[in-house]
């Protein structure tokens, strides 16, 4: 039997993790157990979807931000490669650059096919996603992605992604799709803002995409907000006033907690009064060291984050997704049953009115039916059964369509909405419509399934302890 693309991808993933981290290799199997449960529920598409590919298995750092915020300059300085990424005060590159380590001494740029066709990269087969959102003239993957190799030792074991400048007013849906994909898979997200432009009105859309949508994420601590190019704004404004203006702009998006950083690049800094320069350099150096420290330890954070996501997805499936499927199923069942009860009641009223209007009695009707032959009665009974069955199925279809229409507005998250729609359709098939009175649990859900989820949750603590043993020794005993 031919393996699906997901199975091939996860097989390659496990081979990679065996060499790097055996604990995460075991975690892949637990994600596959969750997949099987979600497939039976109908929540995931077995041909295209897996919880395992929604998680970043490679230590990955993404750099997002507005035009002229200094993202590329930051990357060049960090990797000690001044010519790696083009820099400028205006948009100079409209592609996502995936940067990884290479033993070759020269920087090499490879086409997007190198990423799309290699299951080791987090953008494997992303071309299929872009086909849904890209315009006909822009369906070439090379218009969006490129792979760069770099000999910097700081890249060993990491993938670094430089995004094009974020301009929400003119943003293409394809670029937004890739940005969201990057954010979901990254272990660390550096969000750069140009400190020279703190106007909340002009930046509202950008802040909405880069800040507001991160607040409710379970991994929101992986976002670092960076006010860059503080040296330039210090020429014209009081740096404290600039920071206060940014704090007000960010608070309007809902970001009222968490730290953000104030930096500038000393290699390209402008001339400043000595007292101002000394104060800015001290703050920038401290913040830059903290940022670099986070970047260096993402391999460790990645392991804990993956296990944390296993726990989060398992709980979400049991405590959120399954109850929502149950709720939709009960709404559908109630709507069908009450519709049929109402129709039966209306039919009785119509029959009573007809008998009253025609002076026809129930006993007369019974005598008339009794006078018919067995064959005629059988034909009438069969006809009534077929009509009743057709009407019952039709009512089930109409009720399901109504609930699906309501679901489109009730659930905002597109991925969740698609999953619930798929699961609801599986639960409202012909068999369930025929025996709707006996439907209590969603298809694929049982005590045994719940027990499997509990076992997966129980394994989370075991994996965390194994990770802790790699870095800690609370007892102080020698191995």
SS3 447: helix
| Average pLDDT in the chain | 78
DSSP per-residue letters across 56-92: --S-EEEEEEBTTSSHHHHHHHHHT-TTSS---SS--
Write out the two tokens for 67.
Answer: 């035009």
Structural domain contains residue 355: yes
Contacts 24+ apart (CB under 8 A), 110-113: 110/146, 110/147, 110/148, 110/149, 111/142, 111/146, 111/147, 112/141, 112/142, 112/144, 112/145, 112/146, 112/147, 113/141, 113/142
Statement to judge: residues 39 and 69 lie in one domain:
no
Statement to judge: residues 318 and 276 lie in one domain:
no
How many structural domains is the chain composed of? 2
> Does residue 382 carry a pLDDT above 80?
no
Structural domain contains residue 380: yes
Tell me the chain's radius of gyration from C-alpha atoms: 30
Statement to judge: residues 195 and 273 lie in one domain:
yes
Statement to judge: residues 349 and 457 lie in one domain:
yes
In which band, very low, low, confident or very high, does the pLDDT at 351 lie, cut at 50, 70 and 90? Answer: confident
For the chain, give percent helix, strand, coil, nearest 5.
60, 10, 30
pLDDT (mean) for 407-412: 87
Write out the two tokens for 187.
Answer: 């272990």
Structural domain contains residue 288: yes
Report the distance separating Cα 317 and Cα 304, nearest Å: 20
Report the distance separating Cα 420 and Cα 40, nearest Å: 13
> Does residue 102 carry a pLDDT above 70?
yes
Statement to judge: residues 66 and 51 lie in one domain:
no
Residues contacting 239, CB < 8 A, separation 6+:
230, 233, 262, 276, 279, 280
- For residues 312, 317, 321, 323, the Cα torsion angle rounded to the nearest 10 degrees is -110
pLDDT (mean) for 316-329: 94
**pLDDT for res 106:** 84
Structural domain contains residue 326: yes
State pLDDT tens for residues 269-308. Answer: 666 666 667 777 788 888 889 998 988 888 888 888 889 8
Structural domain contains residue 372: yes
Structural domain contains residue 478: no
SS3 150: strand
Statement to judge: residues 64 and 200 lie in one domain:
yes
Question: Which tops the pLDDT comparison, 19 or 321?
Answer: 321
Q: What is the pTM of this model?
A: 0.68
Question: Which tops the pLDDT comparison, 290 or 471?
Answer: 290
**pLDDT for res 329:** 93
Statement to judge: residues 278 and 330 lie in one domain:
no
Statement to judge: residues 178 and 232 lie in one domain:
yes
Report the distance separating Cα 66 and Cα 157, nearest Å: 27
**pLDDT for res 317:** 94
> Does residue 196 carry a pLDDT above 70?
no
In which band, very low, low, confident or very high, does the pLDDT at 33 lie, cut at 50, 70 and 90? Answer: very high
> Does residue 31 carry a pLDDT above 90?
yes
Statement to judge: residues 289 and 392 lie in one domain:
no
Statement to judge: residues 31 and 63 lie in one domain:
no
Statement to judge: residues 396 and 375 lie in one domain:
yes
pLDDT (mean) for 74-93: 72
pLDDT (mean) for 122-128: 68
Residues constituting the chain: 479
pLDDT (mean) for 9-29: 83
Structural domain contains residue 479: no
> Does residue 44 carry a pLDDT above 70?
yes
**pLDDT for res 69:** 77
Residues contacting 21, CB < 8 A, separation 6+:
303
CB count within 10 Å of CB 355 equals 14
pLDDT (mean) for 159-178: 68
Across 70-79, 184-193, 447-456, the highest mean pLDDT is recorded for 447-456
C-alpha dist (Å) from residue 307 to 158, 311, 415, 463: 19, 6, 21, 7
> Does residue 224 carry a pLDDT above 80?
yes
Write out the two tokens for 218.
Answer: 């379970």
Question: Which tops the pLDDT comparison, 237 or 419?
Answer: 419
Instruction: Supply the CATH number for residue 77's domain.
Output: 3.40.50.300
**pLDDT for res 423:** 93
Residues contacting 197, CB < 8 A, separation 6+:
66, 203
Q: Determine the structural domain holding residue 382 and report its residue range.
A: 1-55+300-473
Domain boundary among 271, 296, 321: 296
**pLDDT for res 138:** 44
Domain boundary among 259, 276, 296: 296
Structural domain contains residue 205: yes
Statement to judge: residues 282 and 406 lie in one domain:
no
Question: Which tops the pLDDT comparison, 375 or 366?
Answer: 375
Domain boundary among 263, 296, 329: 296
Q: DSSP class of residue 200?
A: T
Residues contacting 144, CB < 8 A, separation 6+:
95, 96, 112, 130, 174, 175, 178
């Amino acid at each position: 039997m031919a393996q699906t693309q997901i199975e091939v991808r996860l097989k390659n993933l496990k081979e990679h993790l065996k060499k790097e981290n055996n604990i995460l290799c075991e975690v892949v199997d637990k994600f596959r157990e969750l997949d099987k449960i979600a497939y039976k529920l109908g929540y995931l598409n077995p041909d295209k979807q897996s919880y395992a590919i929604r998680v970043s298995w490679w230590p990955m750092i993404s750099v997002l931000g507005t035009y002229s915020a200094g993202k590329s300059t930051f990357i060049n300085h960090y990797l000690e490669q001044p010519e790696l990424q083009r820099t400028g005060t205006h948009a100079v590159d409209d592609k996502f650059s995936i940067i990884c380590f290479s033993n070759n001494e020269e920087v090499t740029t490879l086409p997007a096919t190198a990423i799309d066709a290699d299951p080791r990269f987090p953008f494997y087969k992303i071309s299929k996603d872009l086909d849904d959102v890209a315009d006909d003239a822009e369906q070439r993957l090379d218009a969006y992605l490129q792979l760069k190799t770099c000999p910097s030792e700081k890249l060993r074991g990491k993938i670094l992604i430089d995004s094009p400048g974020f301009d929400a007013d003119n943003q293409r849906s394809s670029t937004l799709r890739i940005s969201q994909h990057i954010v979901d898979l990254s272990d660390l997200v550096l969000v750069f803002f140009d400190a020279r432009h703190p106007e909340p009105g002009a930046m509202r859309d950008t802040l909405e995409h880069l800040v507001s949508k991160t607040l409710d994420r379970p991994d929101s601590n992986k976002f670092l907000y960076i006010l860059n190019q503080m040296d330039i704004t210090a020429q014209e404004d009081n740096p404290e006033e600039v920071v206060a203006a940014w704090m007000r702009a960010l608070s309007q998006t809902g970001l009222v907690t968490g730290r953000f950083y104030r930096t500038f690049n000393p290699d390209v800094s402008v001339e400043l009064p000595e007292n101002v320069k000394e104060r800015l350099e001290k703050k920038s150096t401290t913040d830059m060291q903290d940022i670099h420290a986070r970047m260096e330890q993402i391999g460790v954070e990645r392991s804990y984050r993956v296990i944390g996501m296993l726990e989060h997805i398992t709980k979400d499936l049991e405590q959120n997704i399954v109850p929502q499927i149950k709720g939709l199923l009960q709404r559908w069942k109630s709507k069908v049953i009450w519709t049929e009860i109402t129709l039966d009641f209306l039919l009785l009223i119509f029959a009573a009115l007809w008998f009253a209007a025609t002076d026809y009695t129930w006993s007369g009707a019974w005598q008339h039916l009794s006078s018919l032959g067995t064959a005629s009665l059988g034909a009438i009974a069969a006809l009534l059964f077929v009509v009743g069955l057709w009407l019952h199925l039709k009512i089930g279809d109409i009720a399901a369509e109504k609930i699906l229409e309501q679901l489109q507005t009730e659930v905002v998250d597109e991925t969740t909405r698609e999953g619930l729609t798929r699961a609801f359709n599986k639960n409202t098939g012909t068999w369930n419509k025929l025996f709707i009175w006996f439907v209590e649990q969603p298809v694929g859900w049982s005590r045994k399934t719940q027990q499997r989820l509990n076992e997966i949750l129980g394994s989370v603590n075991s994996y965390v302890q194994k990770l802790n043993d790699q870095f800690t020794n609370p007892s102080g005993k020698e191995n």
